[in-house]
Structure 1
Amino acid sequence: MPNLFVEVHILQSLPPSNVNRDDSGTPKQAVYGGARRARVSSQAWKRAARTEYARQVPEADRATRTKRIASLLTQRLVKPTSEGGPGLTQEQADRLAAALLEPLGITKSAKKDDQSAYLLFFGKKQLDALVTLLGDRATELADLEDDALKSEVKKLPVVQTLSTGHPAEVALFGRMVADLPALNVDASVQVAHALSTHAVRTEFDYYTAVDDENTEDHGAGMIGTVEFNSSTLYRYAVLGVHQLRDNLSDAEQTRDTAVRFIDAFARSMPTGHQNTFAHRTLPHLVLVTLRADQPVNLVSAYEEPVTGVAGLAAESAVRLADELTAVGDTWGNKPLRTLATYGTDGDKITEALGSSLPFPALLEAVDQLVGAWLEGGELTTDAAPEAAAR
């Protein structure tokens, strides 16, 4: 079965903001095309997208990335039988949880006894499945001597339990455990660092706070500065539907997860200094391209910085349309499908990206195309589903 890459290209304008800062509080930056650009790290936007995605699914189906897996497992073990737990005492639950996690190579942090030495990304249902492995033997096992308990736990498929039944978030963003490769999950999503399409300059906001109860003088109660910039960002992510299908082992869930990811990625926003700047916006343009050969990041459209003669967002959209056409003409690997939602007028944009679809219609078209690929294993450049042809 051939591969299918679903790419998401986004142009999004941010007002004065500091959504992702470095260790000194400065908005992250990068030099590209000889010009200093605003940058939002891929890690920051993946976290924002994952958080946005989680809002769309029930609590029980979510994943969590934490050092507190032992505490979470203990909480489940002390739940009374009326709530679906084995009803162990705290001491019994602590011993049994530690024994269950030992095959995973999870050791306690040197600084905090209630935390593991590293973060582990797993599904909440997977943790419940560990409790289910015990059946009605939880109390019996918890009362065993250390060596006997360790011997009995070795007979349980603990590693296999956390290696299957992955929630969508783990299937999307992957998991890497250096000490136990059996737990590794190849990510089906790659996210690029977001870069401004133009050169930026960091500015400083000098602010003061007034002491409401000070009636003796007119001085400030606090004085400070915060750095910021404003930018039109090019954002890019690619979803390997074939890898997502392998991770989930369920065609219908793969189709649903692919659409939910595009929706979450488009609507997500890192939260740095959000109370200070109220910077949350929606994209100016969302372009989805489907390919079978290889992903193509179109950031090269902005190697020469946009100058904004006709507005940064509008000029950036034209550049993106030109680059999509140029890459296809030069290399011969044009997308199988191109779907777009945008608010910019212009024949050049419409010719390259197709007519603008309302965003819900774009998601519907992606749903149909991914579904068709999962059923038939191939998409040609002909016979687009009805929603995609609008």
Structure 2
Amino acid sequence: MATNRTIAEIHILQTMPPSNLNRDDTGSPKKAVYGGITRARVSSQAWKRPTRLKFRELVDPNQLGIRTKRVVEVLNKHIIDRMPDTDPQLSAEVAKSILLVALKGKKSKKKDSEILVKPRTSKDSGQNDDLEQSTYLLFLGSHQYDELAEIAVNAIASGDPTAFIKSSDVKKHIKAIAQNDRAIDVALFGRMVADDTDLNVDAAAQVAHAISVQRVDFDSDYFTAVDDVKQDSDEEGDAGAAMIGDVEFNSATFYRYANVDVDRLLDTLGDANATVQAVTAFIDAFSTTVPNGKINSFAHNTLPDLVVVNLRDTQAVNLAGAFERPIAGDIVANATKALVEREQEIDASYGTTPVHTWVVRVGKDTKAADQLAARQPLRDVLTELGDAVAARLVRE
């Protein structure tokens, strides 16, 4: 088996109180059948979004991307920031022209009006509804907008922006900027553009759907809302509820898993320091965030019972098989034992033993994880993980 790869992976056991983290189209908590048993489930995208939003606290915003349909508006703002006296209508037209070059693939049969379209929005939305939007959410890095804005400034200064942008050298430059992304979150989570596959970025991170380690029953919270004025006056002789309803919820201990292909991340970012920062930021954010579905109703702000971080040189290993048989009894204690046993047996059978393992845990129930590595605070783990990744990225 090849031993020249670098993969960082994270395994988490996290107990959630009554909550509705991730709803389906009927408002019910998502679920899955695993091992013939109904489990609570949280989709990967539901945990990726808070993870990505946490990056704003951990990473310089200039190293991150912007995911939006309002691409003309964003680029136009970058242009105006550089040329405050520019006619906003002119800068918007230049922004649109540049983005059409960036987004339209060589083989695309779409018209310009099908790539950037006028939005159908309310006049009271408070947004700039006059500017075209892309037909899909587009994930571009802040640096890309900066570089495209510089082209726009030069185009406006030339006196003939249309001719400037249509020149072959400028068009190649625009395409190169759009294709060469260096945003950390774009590199981690990827980008797919159907109209121009040259803009696609393969995600370096994989995030599994979280599933409960035990069988889960789903409950419903019946609630009422009282009309304060009606209650105080009680003129109608009825101080009852003005509204009634119900919200479904569950509670469970989840197994969460994700990994980062460090080599692929380095290929995309092209910088070892940025790669190290991306890996540690991902592990930090994935460990310490929760989806905010119905959070004001349930306040489910928990932190993991157990975090196991592995650095492997073979392949990524999801340990969900530890919970194919649902855990019973002391859930966290027995789930920890099952996780540890599964990792040890797989590594012994397939030669996938990590080159480094770190453990962050809370309480006596997670003590079995000490068989994998000594217990440490998350801050120390992130520091040591960063150092280990940096050492492996040194190229001879």
| Fold conserved between structures, TM > 0.5 | yes
Q: What corresponds to 1:239 in structure 2? A: 260
Matches within 5 A, 1:125-144: 125-140=143-158
Deviation at 1:23, TM superposition (A): 0.5
Deviates more, 1:158-167 or 1:92-101: 158-167
Q: What corresponds to 2:170 in structure 1? A: 155
Code of the aligned partner of 1:203:
D
Could you list the per-position Cα deviations for residues 287-342 of structure 1 after superposition, in whole angstroms to 9, with x for gaps in the alignment?
011111111100000000001x12x1121111111111111122232222211111
Deviates more, 1:110-119 or 1:326-335: 110-119
Deviation at 1:229, TM superposition (A): 0.3
In structure 2, which of residues 45, 48, 53 is the aligned counterpart of residue 46 of structure 1?
A: 48
Q: What corresponds to 1:286 in structure 2? A: 307
Q: What is the distance in 2 between the residues matched to 1:190 and 1:369?
A: 20
Q: What corresponds to 2:221 in structure 1? A: 205
Identity %: 39
Deviation at 1:150, TM superposition (A): 5.5
Could you list the per-position Cα deviations for residues 213-268 of structure 1 after superposition, in whole angstroms to 9, with x for gaps in the alignment?
11212111211111100010000000111111111111111112211111011011
Task: Quickly say closer, same or farther: Cα 1:201–1:77, change in 2 above 3 A.
Answer: same
Q: What is the distance in 2 between the residues matched to 1:139 and 1:346?
A: 67
Deviation at 1:7, TM superposition (A): 0.6
Q: What corresponds to 1:74 in structure 2? A: 76
Deviation at 1:132, TM superposition (A): 1.1
Could you list the per-position Cα deviations for residues 19-53 of structure 1 after superposition, in whole angstroms to 9, with x for gaps in the alignment?
10001000010000000001000111111110112
Contact 1:322 1:352 in 2 (8 A): no
Matches within 5 A, 1:1-390: 2-79=4-81, 84-85=82-83, 87-103=85-101, 104-105=103-104, 107-109=115-117, 111-112=119-120, 114-140=132-158, 148=163, 151-152=166-167, 155-156=170-171, 157-214=173-230, 215-216=233-234, 217-307=238-328, 309-310=329-330, 312-345=331-364, 349-350=368-369, 352-375=371-394
Using structure 2 for the length normalisation, give the TM-score. Answer: 0.88
Deviation at 1:151, TM superposition (A): 2.3
SS of equivalent residue, structure 1 residue 242: helix
Contact 2:59 2:281 in 1 (8 A): no
Deviation at 1:165, TM superposition (A): 4.4
Deviates more, 1:70-79 or 1:243-252: 70-79
Identify unmatched segments of 5+ residues in structure 2.
Answer: 105-111, 121-130
Q: What is the distance in 2 between the residues matched to 1:356 and 1:201?
A: 33
Contact 1:110 1:117 in 2 (8 A): no
Deviation at 1:154, TM superposition (A): 6.7
Q: What is the distance in 2 between the residues matched to 1:341 and 1:70?
A: 44
Code of the aligned partner of 1:200:
V
Deviation at 1:375, TM superposition (A): 2.0
Q: What is the distance in 2 between the residues matched to 1:194 and 1:350?
A: 20
Task: Quickly say closer, same or farther: Cα 1:27–1:195, change in 2 above 3 A.
Answer: same
Deviating beyond 4 angstroms after TM superposition, the runs of 4 or more aligned structure 1 residues are none
Task: Quickly say closer, same or farther: Cα 1:276–1:348, change in 2 above 3 A.
Answer: closer
Task: Quickly say closer, same or farther: Cα 1:136–1:229, change in 2 above 3 A.
Answer: same
Q: What RMSD in Å do the two structures reach over aligned CA positions?
A: 2.1
Deviates more, 1:293-302 or 1:209-218: 209-218
Q: What is the distance in 2 between the residues matched to 1:296 and 1:357?
A: 22
Contact 1:33 1:305 in 2 (8 A): yes
SS of equivalent residue, structure 2 residue 133: coil
Contact 2:306 2:360 in 1 (8 A): yes
Code of the aligned partner of 1:28:
K
Could you list the per-position Cα deviations for residues 180-214 of structure 1 after superposition, in whole angstroms to 9, with x for gaps in the alignment?
11111111100000000011111100011111111
Code of the aligned partner of 1:115:
Q
Using structure 1 for the length normalisation, give the TM-score. Answer: 0.89
Q: What is the distance in 2 between the residues matched to 1:348 and 1:90?
A: 62
Q: What is the distance in 2 between the residues matched to 1:255 and 1:171?
A: 13
Contact 1:86 1:139 in 2 (8 A): no
Contact 2:332 2:365 in 1 (8 A): no
Contact 1:7 1:237 in 2 (8 A): yes
Contact 2:333 2:365 in 1 (8 A): no
Deviation at 1:179, TM superposition (A): 1.3
Contact 1:199 1:305 in 2 (8 A): yes
Identify unmatched segments of 5+ residues in structure 1.
Answer: 378-390
Q: What corresponds to 1:381 in structure 2? A: none
Could you list the per-position Cα deviations for residues 120-161 of structure 1 after superposition, in whole angstroms to 9, with x for gaps in the alignment?
1011221011011245441445x55x6x46624773411211
SS of equivalent residue, structure 2 residue 247: strand
Q: What is the distance in 2 between the residues matched to 1:219 and 1:152?
A: 72
